[in-house]
Amino acid sequence: MTASAGHPGPPGDTAPDPAADVRELRRFNRFYVNLIGAFDYGRQLYTPFTLTEARIIYEVAHHQQVDAADLRVSLSLDAGYLSRLLGKFEDRKLISRGRSERDPRRQCIMLTPAGWEAAGLLEERSQEAAGALLTDLDTADRARLVDSMRTIHALLGTDPQEPPGARPPEAVLRRPYPGDLGWMVERNAAVYAAEYGFDLGYEALVARIVAEYAEAFDPRWDRTWIAELGGERAGAVMCVRDGRPGVARLRLLLVEPGARGHGVGRQLVGACVEFAREAGYGELALWTNSLLDAARGLYLRAGFELVAESAHHSFGRDLVGQDWRLTL
């Protein structure tokens, strides 16, 4: 059965090209800036505010207490430019300023009734504009888009509510709770349908594997790990008896799209390898498909070797299956 990591990545057999990566990132930036109308934001949303002004209003509206220094850091704005914008808002009676309760040396920024009205209008029209971008996408394409945005955020971004320099959250591995095995079936089916177009045959196969695991579970030889990131389920993997003496099999390795970039896949593969060694297995095997490039990178880094490939038609697609082995 598949041991795919559940997320695409740069092909393991292709040499990196930093210059090409930079060009692609800049090309995407130009596309997205034009898509959301960043250069003419007010006209795009039929409001009198620029994108920077709208972001300031959003930040003030969505925090119980915010001061000018907070805004400057969170929005990466020049102090003088921010001061001029806040003065403009004050002249239009959109904000009021007072001394911060946390630090009397700082100014606390608050919305006036007119400011809250402006914030509500911005929120309503921003929701409409964002919704319009998704209108023509079917369910699968919308899921792919949202998962891709989460991946970009996870790899390049930080939570704006975290203090500067805060460490990204680390995944925690645990044993499965009641309901976790059903979640594995549901998420494998949903992620692989969205990202690779797998049909119901894949969900049926995952369901059979999970059912067999639950019915024949022996804690000496079998183990499942659920990865959590920030208290939410972020991935999973199984290590089970293969049927051949001394051989274990890694199965159903999955990393949630929003959890990618945090080392979840590496931790799950490492836990499986460590358990197989401690249980006394001599070999750890897995089967996956060649289109799962990021999974191959995980297996190679863990010491697995590709031992066989064969073409097959499964889950509604023409695929190339791969057998991997790790001597323990």
If pLDDT is split at 50, 70 and 90, which confidence band does 154 have?
low
Query: Average pLDDT of 162-167?
Result: 45
Q: Which residues pair with 255 in a beta bridge?
A: 235
Whether the pLDDT of residue 178 is over 60: the answer is: yes
C-alpha–C-alpha distance, residues 89 and 111, integer Å: 9
Q: Quick one: 146 exposed, middle or buried, by C-beta within 10 A (0-12, 13-18, 19+)?
A: middle
**AA identity, residue 321:** G
Give the per-residue pLDDT at 158.
52
Angular region, 130: left φ>0, alpha ψ -120 to 50, beta rest = alpha
Going along the chain from its start, the domains and CATH numbers come out as 36-136 (1.10.10.10), 172-327 (3.40.630.30)
Are 39 and 33 spatial neighbours (Cβ–Cβ below 8 Å)? yes
Whether the pLDDT of residue 61 is over 70: the answer is: yes
Give the per-residue pLDDT at 101.
66
Q: Rg (Cα) of the chain, in Å, rounded?
A: 25
Query: Average pLDDT of 91-98?
Result: 87
Q: What is the pLDDT of residues 188-223, one digit of tens each?
A: 999 999 988 999 999 999 999 999 999 999 999 999
- Mean pLDDT, all residues of the chain: 83
**AA identity, residue 6:** G
Whether the pLDDT of residue 324 is over 70: the answer is: yes
C-alpha–C-alpha distance, residues 92 and 119, integer Å: 14
Query: Average pLDDT of 93-122?
Result: 81
Give the per-residue pLDDT at 5.
43
**AA identity, residue 111:** L
Could you tell me which residue, 273 or 39, shows the higher pLDDT? 273
Give the per-residue pLDDT at 103.
64
Query: Average pLDDT of 266-295?
Result: 92
Helix (H, G, I), strand (E, B) or coil at 138: coil
**AA identity, residue 233:** R
Whether the pLDDT of residue 163 is over 50: the answer is: no
Whether the pLDDT of residue 78 is over 80: the answer is: yes
Query: Average pLDDT of 4-32?
Result: 68
C-alpha–C-alpha distance, residues 263 and 116, integer Å: 41
Give the per-residue pLDDT at 169.
62
Give the per-residue pLDDT at 160.
45
**Percent of the residues in the chain that have a pLDDT greater than 70, as a whole number:** 85
Q: What is the pLDDT of residues 215-245, one digit of tens each?
A: 999 999 999 999 998 778 899 999 999 988 9
**AA identity, residue 269:** V
Query: Taking Cα atoms as reference points, which of 273, 287, 263, 279 lies closest to residue 326?
Result: 273
Tell me how crowded residue 220 is: count the other CB atoms within 10 A of its CB.
8
C-alpha–C-alpha distance, residues 298 and 306, integer Å: 12
Could you tell me which residue, 68 or 202, shows the higher pLDDT? 202
| Its pTM surpasses 0.85 | no
Give the per-residue pLDDT at 15.
58
Query: Taking Cα atoms as reference points, which of 272, 270, 268, 240 lies closest to residue 255?
Result: 268
